[in-house]
Amino acid sequence: MIKYISKTLLFFTALNSFNPTLFAQTVKKLKTIVVDAGHGGTDYGAVGQYEHSLRSNEKDVTLGISLKLVDELKKQMPDLNIIPTRTSDIYQDPREKANIANENKGDLFICIHADSGPLQTGRRQVGSHTVTRYKITYKGKGRRKKKISTPYTTVEPLYEYYKLPIARNGTSVWIFAAHKTSDKLKAIMSESGQNESEFEIESGTDSTLNNFDFNSPEGRAIAQVYAKRYQEKSDWLARLVNDEIEKTGRPALGVNQRQKGIWVLQATKMPSILIETGFINNQADENYLNSEAGQTELAKVITNAVLKYKTQLENNNNQSTAAQ
C-alpha cells in the first residue's frame, strides 16, 4: 500500500513537470560505464583504402582506443565499474552489445567508432603502349556497298587508377535521434536482459523505484520521462566530449543526430553516445587513430569529459538535496 502511494506520487510528479529534482532523487551516482569497441571479428567496419594507406581496420582501431579508455576510466574513477563489451577481436551482434550494457545496468554507454567517406578515384599515366585499331570505310553503293576495315597501329597512354584519401578529418559525437525517443522508450520498457518484468531505475536508494512496473499505464508515463531524460543526458555528455576534442586542436565536428538513428543507442536503457573518433580514409586521421599517442589522447579526452559529467551530476544531486 505504501508502495502504491509512492508510485502514484511519483507518477504525478513526473507528469506535472520534467523537474530535475525528480531525477536528482533517483540518480545519485554514476556507478557503471559500459565501453563498446565498435565492430569486431568478421565485421571489419571501415577500412583504410586510399593509396599508401595503412590498410587499417576500424575494428582494430576501436579496440585499441577502447582498451586504453577502459584503463584510463578505471585509473581516474577507481570506484566505478567499467565494463568493456569486448577485449579481443571477436564478432558481436549489435543486440549482444546492447545486452551487455543493459544486463550490467550501465549508467552510461560509450560506443567507439571510426568514420569513413566515399573515396574518389585518381588516374595517372604510367607509360604508353602500341595498339591496333581499325579504320572503317565503305566502297560501292546500294546493294553492292561493302565495308572495309583497315588496321593501323597507334601509341596510346597507359593509365593507372588509384584511390585518393578523403580531405575530411576530425571527431564527431552522435546521440540517439530525438524522434527515436519512442524506441528508447521500448528499450526501457522491454523485459530483455532483466530478471523480472520490472525495470530498475538508475541506481537509486529508493527501493520503490527499483520495483517499478513500467508496463502499467503510469509506468509508461514515467518511462517517457526517462527516455527524454536519457536524451538530455546523452546530449550533455556528447557536448562535453566535443569540448574536450576541441582543446586538442583536431577538428571537433559537433554533436549530431542521424535521421535513421543508431540502433545500439536506441536499444540501451541509459544515456548513450557514439564517438566517431576520426576518418580512417583521411591520411592524418588514420595515422592518428593507429598511433599510441593518438589512441592515448582520445582515451584521456573522453575520460576528462566523463569526469566533468560525473562532477556535474553529483553537484546537481547536492544542490537539489540542499534545496529540499
Minimum gap (Å) between residue 45 Cβ and Zn ion:
4
Q: Among 7, 68, 113, 229, which residue interacts with Zn ion (rule: CB under 5 A)?
A: 113
Return the number of the residue (39 or 250) whose C-beta is nearest Zn ion.
39
Judged by CB under 5 A, which stretch of 40-48, 199-207, 250-258, 314-322 contacts Zn ion? 40-48
**Interface with Zn ion, residue 170, by CB under 5 A:** no
C-alpha distances (whole Å) from 309 to each of 27, 208, 216 are: 13, 26, 32
Judged by CB under 5 A, which stretch of 6-14, 45-53, 116-124, 135-143 contacts Zn ion? 45-53
Pair 69, 109: CB distance under 8 Å:
no
Minimum gap (Å) between residue 246 Cβ and Zn ion:
22
**Interface with Zn ion, residue 229, by CB under 5 A:** no
Q: Among 27, 37, 38, 59, which residue interacts with Zn ion (rule: CB under 5 A)?
A: 38
Minimum gap (Å) between residue 38 Cβ and Zn ion:
4
At position 175, the amino acid (one-letter code) is I
Cβ neighbors of 28 (< 8 A, separation 6 or more) are 202, 203, 204, 205, 317
C-alpha distances (whole Å) from 30 to each of 67, 74, 165, 280, 294 are: 20, 13, 41, 32, 27
Return the number of the residue (40 or 45) whose C-beta is nearest Zn ion.
45
Judged by CB under 5 A, which stretch of 1-9, 108-116, 289-297, 309-317 contacts Zn ion? 108-116
**Interface with Zn ion, residue 64, by CB under 5 A:** no
Q: How many CA atoms lie within 13 A of 156 on its CB side?
A: 9
Residue that is written with C-alpha cell 536519457 in the block = 230
Judged by CB under 5 A, which stretch of 30-38, 85-93, 98-106, 315-323 contacts Zn ion? 30-38
C-alpha distances (whole Å) from 246 to each of 72, 78, 81, 300 are: 20, 27, 28, 13
* Strands (DSSP E) found in the chain: 32-37, 81-84, 108-115, 121-139, 146-163, 171-175, 252-257, 272-279
**Interface with Zn ion, residue 48, by CB under 5 A:** no
**Interface with Zn ion, residue 45, by CB under 5 A:** yes
Residues forming contacts to Zn ion in the complex (CB under 5 A) are 38, 45, 113
